[in-house]
Amino acid sequence: MAFENLTSREKRVLQNLICHYIQTADPVGSRVIANKYRMGLSSATIRNTMQDLEEMGLISQPHTSAGRIPTDSGYRIFVNTLLKQEPLTDSEKKYIKSIVNQGGKRIDIVLSQTSKILGDITSLLGISISPRFEEGVLTRMNLVPAAEGKIFVIVAVKSGLARSILMEIESDFSPNELRHFEDVLNERLSGLTLGQIRRTISERLADTDLSPRLVKLFVDARTNIWSDKDTTQIHATGTGNLIKQPEFADRETLLSIINILEDKKELIEFIDSKSLVEGIIITIGNENPIDEIKNCSVVTSKYQVGKISGTIGIIGPTRMPYSKLISIVEYTAKSLTDTLS
């Protein structure tokens, strides 16, 4: 249904119906709209308009004697064209910034704080995803002997982030061999993104004087060392908030959300994909590719750590106060970028 095809009356009725339903979670009748929103229209006229909106698939009637509620398509038109973003107050901005800053430069702590503030301030589920490490440019790597037959591979990227991977190696490699290998790795790989290194490391180490066995170990382990697919972290806070929402009163509905948070991988891939796009992204109901959240809306925004990006956002019922949530997620992402940069 194209928004341009709606009449002015239909737009106003749809907007008022959705705003009222978001506030109350109760199906909305024509008399409520007529009395509360002073549209200058009779209840009968509004009722006829609501019937037209229902035929367009923008609202539905859950029970024959009940009022109407928005459909996913109705919410989409509301979000894209009718929504008026509600700005944050100075005190709300100050509060968000202070909580985000509490973690200092420790990215895991900052992201944990971020998901908590999003959950607390929205009364929904706050989500934060660690940066897409694979996009980082290598500045230095170190090989640090740990226990016998094991070393820590420490990878530092241009934004200042670093991570370490414990790797098993053959015990007969001498410290000098490891140190020489470290020097060659830094000489040949520094300045490349981790993704470039993962794709081309075999060729880049092909004509060296390094031990073939040691080179093979690193080539075979390239996915673990240079890719973040198995190390991307998700922080989620606020499952208790969802219990208070009428949409999650059903135990099975709530359990489906908890299950997807425990499994993590599918949710991480979905949320992380949002960091490829600038600005606020809202996915509503059946637009979500994951079955467990097809009754939810997801509001996300990317943040930056140098040239590396990650994603934060909130998950809640499709009946959520979009106008305020957009401002909250948008400002939190900006504060996170400022803190980590």
330-to-100, 179, 333 alpha-carbon distances in Å = 13, 45, 5
What local confidence, expressed as pLDDT, does residue 105 receive?
64
Q: What is the chain's mean pLDDT, rounded?
A: 88
Other residues' Cβ atoms within 10 Å of the Cβ of residue 87: 11
Give the residue-averaged pLDDT of 24-47: 92
Contact 55, 10 (CB under 8 A): no
Q: What is the pLDDT of residue 315?
A: 96
Looking at the chain, the whole-number percentage of residues with pLDDT higher than 90 is 46
**First CA to last CA across the chain, in angstroms?**
43
Percent of the chain predicted with pLDDT > 70: 94
Q: Is 69 helix (H, G, I), strand (E, B) or coil?
A: strand
- The domain 90-130+232-340 having CATH identifier 3.30.70.100: the answer here is no
What are the sequence ranges of the domains in the chain? 3-82, 90-130+232-340, 134-226
Residue 60, pLDDT above cutoff 90: yes
Alpha helices, DSSP H, located in 227-276:
239-243, 251-263, 265-272
- What does each C-alpha distance from 17 to 22, 77, 82, 178, 210 come to in angstroms? 9, 13, 12, 68, 70
Q: Which CATH architecture fits 134-226?
A: 2-Layer Sandwich (3.30)
pLDDT in tens, 165-220: 888 877 667 788 888 989 999 999 999 988 888 888 888 888 888 878 888 888 88
Nearest to 92 by CA among 68, 120, 72: 120
What pLDDT, in 10s, does the model give residues 91-113? 999 999 999 888 666 778 889 99
The answer to whether 217 and 201 are in contact (CB under 8 A) is no
Question: Could you tell me the pLDDT band of residue 290, with boundaries at 50, 70 and 90?
Answer: very high
pLDDT at 147 over 80: no
pLDDT of res. 202 = 87
What is the pLDDT at residue 97?
92
Is the pLDDT at 61 greater than 80, yes or no? Answer: yes
- How far apart are alpha carbons 298 and 195 in whole angstroms? 28
Closest CA to 317 of 341, 336, 294: 294
Between 255 and 227, name the one with better pLDDT: 255
Q: Check residue 30 and give its pLDDT.
A: 93
Confidence (pLDDT) at 296? 94
pLDDT at 144: 86
Cα(281)–Cα(11) distance, integer angstroms: 23
Q: Does domain 3-82 have CATH number 3.30.1330.40?
A: no
pLDDT at 151: 85
Q: What are the pLDDT digits (tens) for 312-341?
A: 999 999 999 999 999 999 999 999 999 887
Rg (CA), the chain: 26
Q: What is the pLDDT of residues 248-275, one digit of tens each?
A: 888 888 888 888 888 888 888 888 888 7
Q: Do residues 138 and 191 make contact, with C-beta atoms less than 8 angstroms apart?
A: yes
